[in-house]
């Protein structure tokens, strides 16, 4: 297997040098199943598991090998799994707030980062043009893609079910300024050739979207066979059924890889300010004219953003979406601070235990 076609480049080659000296080889994570990993390497498809030392060194769930990560492994005979010793630095990282974190009694008010996929070049933000189409949800995915550092591309699937495709494209273009928008029908095979130009050489593509938008169908069409399960949406509400239950990387015949992700009804963002500004650059531009520099756009006098809403030049729902995401980001920052304090407390306890142990040993030697 040619790892160059899997996304290997000079960046990873440089960062891998210390591990190559140790006799380790590179591999890329294709899938994770609890405590085991499926890897792609020069030896082909291999199973992997963490070394005991590496497992002990991981202090955060974001440090676990995730789909798209490049790892340093040692291999034995064909009947034994490869041993993962380290994760190489990530060029880009698509993350969300880990489900269940930040609210547990023993969490210390902190929250955890869950890495969905790593080392992504382009993020296809897939929306289905059926009754479940939601422009506000698309804004959330757009902010996540910008924050990741990947190039966002909006894919509007199921154009065969949409009465006015041009109007919908225009609606999306108003909130995704400067972003490429592709209108396709994966079932009929219409427009999929538009995606081909983003998949060349050793590119890594991730597909993001809710259940039932057609991500798995798109992947199957692109690779030429039914590699991933698909299922129709529920007739009662047009909502999707989960056919992908884990994140999985699929090599493409022409080179490069696609990463499919389970559909998410609500993406718990892991944002910083840059991702928010890029997604809502129109609001950021308006805010330059607010009377107060720290205007929150919540009733302050001389707020240019609220004036634009009143004048009808800014959609009130878009402002609500911005305020909601900004509030989530602020809460996330507070929880990140709580997590750091919690980790510092743990390290302090470990250091105190170590000092006491050294003192005990010295005392016994006297």
Task: Return the minimum-mean-pLDDT range out of 51-65, 115-129, 253-267, 288-302.
Answer: 253-267
CA distance 70 to 81: 16
Note the pTM of the prediction, 2 decimals: 0.76
**Cβ neighbours for 37, distance < 8 A, ≥ 6 positions apart:** 29, 30, 31, 47, 48, 49, 65, 71, 84
Task: Return the minimum-mean-pLDDT range out of 90-99, 151-160, 270-279, 354-363.
Answer: 354-363
Percent of the chain with pLDDT over 70: 79
Domain 3-89 carries which CATH code?
Answer: 2.40.50.140
* pLDDT higher than 50, residue 194: yes
**Cβ neighbours for 144, distance < 8 A, ≥ 6 positions apart:** 94, 96, 123, 208, 267, 269, 270, 271, 275
CA distance 187 to 177: 28
Q: Which residue has better confidence, 258 or 333?
A: 258
Q: What is the mean pLDDT of the chain?
A: 83
- Phi, psi (deg, nearest 5) at residue 317: -65, -30
Reference 144, options 304, 325, 311, 324; nearest CA is 325
Classify the phi-psi angles of 212: left when phi > 0, otherwise alpha if psi is within -120 to 50, otherwise beta. left
Domain 95-260 in the same topology as domain 3-89: no
CA distance 201 to 130: 33
Residue range 112-131: mean pLDDT, rounded:
90
- For residue 250, the cross-strand partners are 258
Band of pLDDT at residue 254, cut at 50, 70 and 90: confident
Alpha-helix residue ranges (DSSP H) falling in the chain: 10-21, 52-57, 135-148, 165-175, 193-196, 215-223, 273-279, 281-287, 304-311, 316-365
**DSSP single-letter state for residue 60:** S
CA distances from 45 to 30, 191, 258 (A): 9, 32, 16
- DSSP H or E segment with residue 119: none
Reference 254, options 200, 178, 205; nearest CA is 200
The domain ranges of the chain are 3-89, 95-260
Q: Which residue has better confidence, 266 or 221?
A: 221
By the 8 A CB rule, do 133 and 168 touch?
yes
How far is residue 141 CA from its own chain's centroid? 9
Q: Which CATH number fits domain 95-260: 3.65.10.10, 2.60.120.10, 3.90.1150.10, 3.40.50.300?
A: 3.40.50.300
Residue found by looking up tokens 């296809």 in the block: 124
- For residue 212, the cross-strand partners are none
- For residue 128, the cross-strand partners are 157
pLDDT at residue 99, rounded to an integer? 63
* pLDDT higher than 60, residue 355: no
Reference 243, options 225, 263, 266; nearest CA is 263
């Amino acid at each position: 297997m040619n790892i160059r076609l899997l996304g290997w480049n000079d960046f990873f080659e440089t960062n891998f040098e210390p591990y190559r000296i140790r006799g380790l080889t590179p591999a890329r994570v294709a899938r994770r199943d609890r405590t085991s990993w499926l890897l792609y390497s020069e030896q082909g498809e291999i199973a992997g598991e963490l070394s005991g030392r590496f497992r002990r060194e991981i202090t955060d769930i974001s440090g676990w090998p995730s789909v798209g990560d490049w790892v340093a492994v040692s291999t034995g005979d064909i009947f034994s799994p490869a041993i993962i010793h380290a994760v190489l630095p990530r060029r880009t990282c698509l993350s969300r707030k880990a489900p269940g974190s930040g609210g547990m009694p023993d969490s210390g008010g902190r929250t955890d980062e869950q890495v969905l996929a790593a080392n992504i070049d382009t993020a296809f933000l897939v929306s289905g043009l059926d009754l479940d189409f939601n422009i506000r949800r698309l804004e959330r995915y757009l902010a996540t893609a910008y924050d990741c550092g990947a190039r966002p591309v909006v894919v509007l699937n199921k154009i065969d079910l949409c009465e006015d495709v041009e109007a919908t494209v225009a609606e999306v273009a108003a909130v995704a300024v400067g972003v490429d928008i592709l209108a396709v029908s994966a079932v009929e095979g219409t427009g999929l050739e538009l995606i081909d130009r983003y998949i060349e050489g050793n590119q890594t593509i991730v597909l993001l979207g809710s259940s039932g938008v057609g991500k798995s169908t798109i992947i199957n069409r692109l690779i030429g066979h039914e590699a991933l399960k698909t299922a129709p949406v529920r007739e009662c509400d047009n909502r999707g059924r989960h056919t992908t239950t884990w994140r999985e990387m699929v090599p493409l015949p022409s080179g490069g890889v696609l990463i499919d992700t389970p559909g998410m009804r609500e993406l718990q963002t892991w944002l910083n300010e840059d991702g928010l500004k890029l997604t809502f650059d129109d609001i950021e531009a308006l805010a330059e004219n607010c009377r107060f520099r720290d205007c929150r756009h919540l009733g302050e006098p001389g707020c240019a953003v609220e004036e634009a809403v009143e004048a009808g030049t800014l959609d009130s729902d878009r402002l609500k979406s911005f305020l909601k995401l900004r509030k989530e980001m602020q809460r996330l920052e507070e929880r990140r601070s709580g997590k750091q304090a919690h980790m510092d407390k743990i390290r302090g306890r470990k250091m105190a235990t170590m000092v006491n142990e050294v003192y005990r040993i010295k005392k016994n030697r006297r």
